[in-house]
């Protein structure tokens, strides 16, 4: 197998003719004929209206379900990589769900430490010590001994991000991080995605879904839109500015600003 981090010409994500089923009914195709490549260090935002298939697309990308059709390779490995002997490849990816998907009977610290404890065979105390700096970086330390039910949605989403980062992934997938947040937390997430790649000692690849492209204008480097069951790859922001208005009007809150920027 080729390692994309050692050979940058090998994509981190490579989809050819891929169709995506709904998580609740994989016989129902929500996205079809996807041809898409993501390389090491890319920062993609995939936008679409509610019901466009963003979550299903990201969960399939994260390996939670197989593609309905086509070929999908992650880190050069044919997906889905459910086999136990391919676990190391799976652990190179972190996935943050839209709602956090935390275990309600565990504290925030226990939720975040769970992948570290399990995959590195550590005691609860050792795992807690390893994730403590992460809790502090994400401003979750004061919530560490709180259960998710006692937190607001803003903080639950951030705890889900912490768990996705716990093993230091090379690929980070984040489902609709800005949905349902207040302005303060929205700004925190945007600032986080500005800082996070620069603080790593190796390229980190990111794919984020969103209902709106506009907040990511100065942050992401590549853009795509899910519409009418197809992934429309736009490319850079300059290419977004040249895209069809009918394609963008669903996923841009301020189209006039886009025109002024060109």
Whole-prediction pTM value? Answer: 0.90
Q: How far apart are CA 231 and CA 49, in angstroms?
A: 13
CATH architecture of 1-92+172-262: 3-Layer(aba) Sandwich (3.40)
Where are any strands of DSSP class E within the chain? Answer: 13-22, 25-38, 43-47, 69-74, 77-78, 93-96, 171-174, 205-210, 222-227, 230-235
Q: What pLDDT, in 10s, does the model give residues 112-151?
A: 999 999 999 999 999 999 999 999 999 999 999 999 999 9
What's the rounded mean pLDDT across residues 204-229? Answer: 94
- Give residue limits of the domains in the chain: 1-92+172-262, 105-168
Q: pLDDT for 65-118, tens place per residue?
A: 999 999 999 999 888 777 777 778 888 999 999 988 999 999 999 999 999 999
Report residue 231 as tokens.
Answer: 């992934």
**Residue whose pair of structure tokens reads 């899910």 in the numeric block:** 226
Res 115: pLDDT: 94
**pLDDT score of 28 more than 50:** yes
């Amino acid at each position: 197998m080729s390692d994309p981090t050692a050979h940058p010409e090998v994509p981190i994500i490579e989809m050819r003719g891929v169709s995506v089923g709904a998580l609740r009914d994989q016989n129902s195709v929500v996205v079809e004929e996807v041809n898409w490549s993501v390389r090491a260090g890319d920062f993609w935002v995939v936008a679409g209206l509610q019901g466009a298939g963003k979550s299903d697309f990201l969960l399939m990308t994260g390996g939670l379900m197989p593609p309905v059709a086509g070929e999908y390779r992650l880190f050069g490995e044919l997906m889905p990589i459910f086999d136990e002997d391919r676990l190391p490849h799976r652990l190179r990816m972190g996935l943050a769900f839209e709602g956090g998907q935390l275990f309600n009977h565990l504290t925030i610290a226990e939720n975040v430490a769970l992948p570290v404890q399990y995959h590195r065979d550590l005691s609860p105390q050792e795992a807690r010590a390893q994730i403590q700096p992460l809790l502090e970086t994400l401003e979750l330390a004061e919530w560490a001994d709180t259960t998710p039910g006692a937190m607001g949605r803003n903080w639950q989403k951030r705890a889900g991000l912490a768990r996705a980062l716990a093993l230091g992934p090379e690929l980070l997938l984040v489902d609709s991080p800005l949905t349902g947040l207040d302005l303060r937390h929205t700004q925190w997430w945007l600032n986080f995605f500005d800082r996070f790649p620069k603080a790593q000692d190796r390229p980190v690849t990111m794919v984020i879904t969103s209902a709106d492209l506009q907040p990511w204008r100065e942050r992401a480097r590549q853009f795509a839109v899910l519409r009418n069951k197809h992934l429309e790859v736009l490319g850079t922001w300059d290419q977004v500015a040249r895209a069809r208005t009918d394609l963008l009007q669903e996923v841009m809150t301020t189209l006039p600003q886009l025109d002024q920027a060109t």
